[in-house]
Structure formats: C-alpha cells, structure tokens
Structure 1
C-alpha cells in the first residue's frame, strides 16, 4: 500500500479534505474524482497501481462526503464541486509543477469530471470516465416523483462480482448508507442538462470504461452522454459481465491496465 497524506483546502461551501499519494519525480498527476456517497479512501488500490505507474495521485472527499465538511451527501450545485476539485488540482500543480494532469472520474465523479473537462479541459492531458453518470439517467427522475424519498439502501451486490467489495462497502462508516436528498437529486438533473448544453471536449483524449452489467448507471444511458461529450480522440472499453465499480471488479487489473496504457499513449506521445 502506497504512503499517503491528507491536505485540507478551502472549498466553495466548506473545508475539503484531499488525499495525496506522493511520487518522486512523477511522469503525471492523476486526479481522482469519487462517486456519490463514498470517499477517496476507497481508491487505495487504484492509487497503488497509478503510483507504481509513475503518477502522483490526488483526490478530494467531496463536500458532504468522507472527511470533508457539510451535511452528508447534500450537494446544492455541482458547479461548486467542480470548483473544489479545481482547488485540489491547483494544490497538485504547486507540488509538482509542469507535470501533466490526468482526470479520472467514477460514477457521480464521472459527471463532475465531465463538467470539469468542459470548464478546465485546456489544462488537462487526458480524461478517464468510469461508469459515468452522463446522458440519460432515470434514477433521479424516478425518486423525485415521490412526495417522500424512499430510504432504499444500495444493493451492494450491484457494485462488483467480488462479494468482498460489497461487504467492505456496507461496513464502511465513511460511506453514506441513508437515502438520497432531494436537493442533490435536483442538482444532478441540472448538471446533466448543463453538460449536454456545453458541447464536447474537443481535442482532449477521453477513455470511457463501463461494465455491461452495470445496473446502477446503465451503459445505454451513459453512451448517450459520451456521444455528446467526446471529441475526436476517444477510446471505449466495455467489460462483459462487469458491474458498476469496474475499478473494484474481478477484472480490475485488466481495467487499470487499459487506463495506464491509455495514459502512456496520451502523456508520453
């Protein structure tokens, strides 16, 4: 397990705790953007692979998540979260000046990363989206139709074919195990609309990885968003039988090899 340290940055609406997995003379910085209800500590294995590949790795706990401030899982506006991630990028650039930055977002983090690329893509070397909330995602619309949001916890079997992943998730005190919050669902709908309106990422290289048995963020809905977002340089990897968390799947090493291979091409070319 790679060594790591924590930083606290001033976020848009409160203090944000970010994790750094340092690397001496890195070839690139990997900026990780986690998903809804979780925290950056769940990406320890990803960070280990990336640091071994020559990356310095950074990632925040979003506001209302993990060790950061704020009411749990309450996001009023994803533009604020994008700004918070940018503060962590600036922290990384100060630590490793002149090193290319690769943005990697999973699930809701894919939504944040996609919007980040629209706002700050000129400073990025590459974008990786894993099971991203993009395009058509029915869940928020379904839940917002209720007068009172149902308290239905996530079925942890949908995360990965590896049952240990679900067991660890269910026991993690930094993971949110309660219901969605209405403002967060509304903010998600607005963010999807905003991304759709703001066009593609131009020349920014994009890798999209997704499990074809993802029942949390279905492949077909994300494909709609990817088609709008992608520029001329993009790669798609769909993994048969894989569920939502492809970085925690039984074939995670294949997935991460696809990520590092993509980074080698775009950063070293």
Structure 2
C-alpha cells in the first residue's frame, strides 16, 4: 500500500491529509492495479486521520483508493488546536476533499465513512450532498443527544476533562497508543467546539432523513458516546435504504476494538451491496 500526503486550502488555512492506494505494481487487491471505488474517511474529535491507516489498508485491499484529512485544528492541519467554530464549514472542507478525489478518479463511485464527531459530519454531509454518494457509514456518531454536552456547556468554566483512553477500546494497547500520540489533542474541550457540535446535531435533526444507503454501527458499551443517545438521532436520520448493527461489549472506537476485523468486514460487506464489484 502506498501512502502519500496531500494538502489544500480549507476554510481556515491549510488542510493536510493522506491518500492510500495500491502499490504501483498493482500487486495488492482483487482486481489488479485499478481501484474500483473511492472511500473518504472522516475522523473524530481530537484525533487525526493517521489513526485510520489500518482501516485504509483493509479498504485498499478491497479495491478502494482512500482519502482522509485532518480537520481544522487537528493533526497536521492549521488552526487553533481542537477548535471548530462551525461543523458546516468542516463539511465544506470534506467537500473539497471529495472534489480532489473525484478529479483524480472521475468515474469511480464514492463511499463516505465517519466516526464519532466524524459521524456527525458525515451525517450532515449526507444531508447536503448525499445524492453523489454510493453509500455512507456512521460509526459511533454524535447524533441525537449526547449526555456530557449540556453539562459541559452549563459550566461557567469548561472543566479540564480530557478523554479517558479507557473508554476507547477493550484493548489497552489502543488507549496507550492514544496517550502516546503527539498529534492527538489531550486537553479539555473548548466551548466554541461544544457549541458547534450542539448546533450541528440540531441541524441534523431538523434536516430529516437520508434516503441514500446509510449504515449506523455502534459499540453497545460505548461510554463516550452512549448508544442510547445516538439511537434517538438515528430515528430522525434513517431513510428507506438504512440499516444498523451494534456490537455487544464494544466501546467507542469500534475500528480499534478487539473485534475490529468483524466491524471492518461489516463495513466492506455493506459497501459491496452498493458498489459494483469487479468480475473475477
């Protein structure tokens, strides 16, 4: 798998991302050297797209060319750390990424995969530009209600409560890698970011269902974004071509869970339902 950097000017400065694709000799994957679809991965709050390299590898092995960016204020992109003033403009940055990907592969169908805050972004994106997508996957999305949000915003001063790595996965190595990752934000939430999340959640509720193929997946033991709150949002968002699956015992980062092979396999199977596959 080849991994290359990319960058473009977003709404608040330079956005840095990555492209993953097959080796140039075409040895990887089931259909030679030519990709059969595009996948955009949208990461969550405080992290960066490099944490999804293993997901990208599985998708590349399946025939995808994969694109992802670090959101404004995240990872290697410009902007104040962990500050997002408006989810709508982040969606527009992702739309620029889509344009870049389609410019390089104009005939390929496109799949959108978002996790956590990225799931909220993907949900809103699907409401705005879903007609151009083959399918959308929401992993542990911040939709519906999010219990910690109102409590944090009600405080005069946002308490210093960084994300506990233990809530991410049953695999302790995942939490340790998260702590050791210098590109991850380990500080407290910023009020403007929380307000933008609340506003975007309201926009998703107000904008109604997505009739394009949509999959919601969630860990049943997710204590960071509890499944009950997301279920409320799913009732408003799901359309005629929606499906859902939850994973008993799994925590928030289901792509990094002990059953990650099952989760990623379910995503690939869903993609296969909506993206034409090459004839062997």
The interval holding the TM-score normalised by the smaller chain is over 0.9
2:18 matched residue in structure 1: 19
- Aligned counterparts of 1:258 and 1:6: Cα–Cα separation in 2: 28
> Would you say 1:93 and 2:102 are equivalent positions?
yes
In the alignment, which of 168, 180, 184 is matched to residue 177 of structure 2? 168
Q: Is the 8 A contact 1:21 1:51 kept in 2?
A: yes
Residue in 1 that maps onto 2:25: none
Over 4 Å off, 4+ runs: none
Larger deviation, residues 144-153 vs 237-246: 144-153
Contact 2:162–2:189 (Cα < 8 Å) also in 1: no
Q: How does 1:94-243 map to 2 (within 5 A)?
A: 94-202=103-211, 204-243=212-251
- Structure 1 window deviating more from structure 2 (187-196 vs 19-28): it is 19-28
CA–CA separation in structure 1 for the residues paired with 2:163 and 2:12: 27
Distance apart, 1:58 and its partner CA: 0.3
**What SS does the corresponding residue of 2:2 show, helix, strand or coil?**
coil
Q: CA deviation at 1:3?
A: 1.9
Provide Cα deviations, 1:219-269, integer angstroms capped at 9, x if missing partner: 011011111111111121110000000000000000011000010111128
Deviation at 1:10, TM superposition (A): 1.1
After the TM superposition, which residues 4-15 of structure 1 pair with which residues of structure 2 at under 5 Å, given as runs?
4-15=3-14
Which stretches in structure 1 are left out of the alignment for 5+ residues?
Answer: none
Shift of 1:17: 0.6
Task: Determine helix, strand or coil for the equivalent of 1:268.
Answer: coil
Q: Distance in 1 between the 2:134 and 2:236 partners?
A: 20
Write the distance in 1 (CA, Å) between the matches of 2:242 and 2:126. 14
CA RMSD in angstroms comes to 0.9
Q: Shift of residue 25 of structure 1?
A: 1.5
Q: Which residue of 2 aligns with 1:62?
A: 71
Q: Which position in structure 1 is the counterpart of 2:256?
A: 248
TM-score, normalisation: structure 1: 0.98
More displaced 10-residue stretch of structure 1: 81-90 or 10-19: 10-19
Q: Does 1:78 align with 2:87?
A: yes
Of the structure 1 ranges 143-152 and 29-38, higher mean CA displacement relative to structure 2 is found in 143-152
**Residue 103 of structure 1: CA displacement?**
0.2
Q: Which runs of 5+ in 2 are unaligned?
A: 23-32
SS in 1 for 2:119: helix
Aligned residues: 267
TM norm structure 2: 0.94
